[in-house]
């Protein structure tokens, strides 16, 4: 696994935001779409992020976007 973020230009704030898994998914999904990421890639992110538990979701987000 690479330490590189797949979409480092996509920045999703965490501080002061809802930490609910669905809220995180929604924010990242919206940010990816706004950045022009193709829909199939966004769907791939959702599948990967929802494949396990909350910790897996956060780890997946951190691999895909800059999450602060």
Amino acid 3: pLDDT: 66
Look at the chain and report how many structural domains it folds into.
1
Amino acid 10: pLDDT: 97
In a domain, 56, yes or no: yes
In a domain, 53, yes or no: yes
User: What's the farthest any 2 CA atoms get from each other in the chain?
Assistant: 30
pTM of the model: 0.87
Contacts of 40 by beta carbon, 8 Å cutoff, 6+ apart:
none
pLDDT in tens, 25-40: 999 999 999 999 999 9
In a domain, 39, yes or no: yes
In a domain, 10, yes or no: no
- Spatial separation of the C-alpha atoms in residues 23 and 35, rounded to whole Å: 18
In a domain, 34, yes or no: yes
- How big is the chain, counted in residues? 68
The parent domain of residue 35 ranges over 18-67
């Amino acid at each position: 696994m690479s330490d590189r973020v797949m979409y480092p230009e996509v920045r999703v704030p965490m501080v002061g935001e809802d930490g609910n898994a669905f809220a995180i998914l929604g924010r990242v999904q919206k940010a990816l779409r706004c950045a022009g990421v193709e829909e199939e890639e966004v769907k791939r992110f959702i599948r990967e992020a929802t494949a396990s538990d909350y910790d897996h979701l956060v780890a997946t987000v951190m691999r895909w976007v800059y999450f602060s």
